[in-house]
With several copies, the nearest count.
Chain A
Amino acid sequence: MQQDIVAQGLELMLYGMGTVVVFLALLVIATTAMSSFVGRYFPEPQTPAVMGNKPASTGAAPNDELVAAITAAVHQHRGRKQ
């Protein structure tokens, strides 16, 4: 039984690590393909890849009456649809 569990552990390691590598390899391929596809057929004014969560920040701190009013209107507008 002790040997048995080691065997299980080895199997889990080989099979598990294998799956992780294969899965992420496929993801690399899929992502590359997707990017080139999107880049070719749906080009777009590019935005730099920066960390930072615009929606969150604007969501967190509307910085003047105008935005406040808009926010309220939008909420109302969207809320209604719900």
Chain B
Amino acid sequence: MLIIGLMLLFLAIRKGFEPLLLVPIGFGGILANIPGSGMAYSALENAVQGADPAFLLELARVLGVAAAENGKELLVAYAASDAVTHVAAQQLALDAGFSNGMLYSFYSVAIASGIAPLVIFMGVGAMTDFGPLLANPKTLFLGAAAQFGIFATILGAVGLTSVGVMDFSITDAAAIGIIGGADGPTAIYVASMLAPDLLGAIAVAAYSYMALVPMIQPPIMRALTTLEERQIEMVQLRPVSKREKIVFPLVLLILVAMLLPDAAPLLGMFCFGNLMKECGVVDRLSDTAQNALINITTIFLGLSVGSKLVADKFLDVNTLGILGLGIVAFGVGTASGVIIAKLMNRFGSTPINPLIGSAGVSAVPMAARVSNKVGLEANPHNFLLMHAMGPNVAGVIGSAVAAGVMISLVGG
């Protein structure tokens, strides 16, 4: 695992793979795998690993099982035991002078509570400009189309399971699919709820592939479009008034409240951050949300994710499956976005350059840049960046919606 941690650091520092997340994740992965430090374990796990006979005996008594040399048996008994026993056993370990590992504490506070991804999403909202989306709302369809990658991947995961190659539950499959959302906090939030054991692999896949977007997308985009299509110039976006920008997050929030309560935490915080930015009367809060607060949260979120990169979970055929399915997710999402954009161009009134469809996977703002770059190859005077920002942020909303659906269907 140490090697994997170092590799992540290398990718982040030398290759510039999403360093803001992969540096803390990689480092956390190394810390979590230091034998004997128990930084990623709870007080009880550390106490059991300490394996002091007297403690194990006492614990066995509390759990009401026969004394066991092997701590593992006790942890199994613990998992099976009821609520009061859980509390008692935990307190027992604390009283015995064992404490929760640092990374375990970070994980409990930052991720198990679901709070860190939400706070980061608030900060992202405070950094998002919905102007291009408001100028051309139809691009929301591209953000919807690209989410097909998520669900195709779920089908792939259950397929691999049904033929016995992998072994994923339906919740695992859903959590893996969200990689196709190309949105870090959403992926971590969903994984922490549906498949905590896979969180490490899923987060690593999500961020790595987001970094690889400039390599993954262009070939697909070129394959699915003709040169003429790539050369299409789009009409200048209309100006958007401040008031529209202020009202939009509220419209989105109300729609979520009425239709999709399970997406409310994610999209609610996203809209809150965006409202703080646009309303213009709470700049000091908005600035903090997109600087000090999001940075602090990112540090602890990254280390916490890293704490899930423990050998017995990560060095596993399923991880390979996750990495494989993840890249499929990106590819399918990109393709669907481009294809729908082609159709909208063919059958719509205003010309749409299909290249902006690929931005619907989100991976903000990298995917939009890719659309712009590929567009410039075909037509040096064709700047698609602003046009691609619409589907780009639409993709963020789209994957948050998909997350809500999956949590409500297969979650808890």
- Classify A-B as touching or not with yes or no (CB < 8 A): yes
Q: Does B220 lie at the interface of the complex (its beta carbon under 8 Å from any beta carbon of A)?
A: no
Query: In the complex the two chains form, is A51's CB within 8 Å of B152's CB?
Result: no
Partner of B184, one of A13, A24, A58, A82: A82
Alpha-carbon distance A49/B290, docked complex (angstroms):
20
Measured between beta carbons, the chain A residues less than 8 angstroms from B365 are 51, 76-77, 80
Query: Within the complex, which residue of B124, B164, B259, B394 is in contact with A26, where a contact is CB–CB below 8 Å?
Result: B259
B379 touches A (CB below 8 Å): no
| Interface: B62 (CB within 8 A) | no
Across the A-B interface, give the 6 residue pairs with the lowest CB-CB distance, nearest first. A49-B131, A9-B158, A59-B287, A80-B364, A79-B127, A13-B151
- Of all chain B residues, which has the CB nearest A49? B131
Task: Indicate if B314 sits at the interface (CB-CB under 8 A).
Answer: no
List A residues 14-52 near B (Cβ within 8 Å).
15-17, 19-21, 23-28, 30-32, 34-35, 38-39, 42-44, 46-52
Query: A44 contacts B242, CB within 8 Å?
Result: yes
Residues on B with beta carbons closer than 8 Å to the beta carbon of A58: 283
Q: Are B184 and A2 in contact (CB under 8 A)?
A: no
> What's the least CB distance linking A20 to chain B, in Å?
5
B131 A55 Cβ-Cβ under 8 A: no
Chain B interface main SS type:
helix
Contact between B243 and A16, CB atoms less than 8 A apart: no
Residues of A at the B interface (CB closer than 8 Å) are 2-3, 5-6, 8-13, 15-17, 19-21, 23-28, 30-32, 34-35, 38-39, 42-44, 46-53, 55-56, 58-60, 74-82
Whether A20 and B405, one on each chain, are in contact in the complex, defined by CB atoms closer than 8 angstroms, is: yes
Q: Does B174 contact A (CB under 8 A)?
A: yes
Residues of A within 8 A of B174 (CB): 12
Which one of A15, A34, A48, A82 has the greatest number of beta carbons of chain B within 10 Å? A82
- A24, B244: Cβ atoms closer than 8 Å: no
Instruction: Verify B20–A44 contact, CB threshold 8 A.
Output: no
Q: CA A13 – CA B40 in complex, angstroms?
A: 30
Q: Looking across the interface, which residue of chain B has its beta carbon closest to that of A73?
A: B365
**Which A residues touch B366, using CB under 8 A?**
81
Of all chain B residues, which has the CB nearest A44? B241
Q: Give the CA-CA distance A39 to B242 in the complex, in Å.
A: 11
Are A81 and B287 closer than 8 Å at their CB atoms?
no
Bound-state Cα–Cα, A23 to B389, Å? 20
Minimum distance in angstroms from B291 CB to a CB of chain A: 7
Question: Are A27 and B252 in contact (CB-based, < 8 A)?
Answer: yes
Instruction: Write 29 A-B pairs (CB below 8 A) sorted by A numbering.
Output: A5-B161, A9-B158, A9-B170, A12-B173, A13-B151, A13-B155, A15-B409, A16-B409, A20-B144, A23-B144, A28-B137, A31-B133, A31-B134, A31-B140, A38-B243, A44-B243, A49-B131, A49-B239, A51-B129, A56-B287, A75-B284, A76-B127, A76-B365, A79-B294, A80-B128, A80-B364, A82-B20, A82-B185, A82-B298
Across the interface, B173 reaches (CB within 8 A) one of A9, A28, A39, A43, namely: A9
> Within the complex, which residue of A39, A48, A55 is in contact with B286, where a contact is CB–CB below 8 Å?
A55
Instruction: Tell me the bound Cα distance from A65 to B185 in angstroms.
Output: 31
Q: Are A6 and B158 in contact (CB under 8 A)?
A: yes
B397 contacts partner chain A, Cβ-Cβ < 8 Å: yes
Q: Pick the contact of B280 from A15, A35, A55, A80 — CB < 8 Å? A: A55
Which of A16, A35, A50 has a CB less than 8 Å from the CB of B402?
A16
Q: Which residues of A contact B127 (CB under 8 A)?
A: 53, 56, 75-76, 79-80
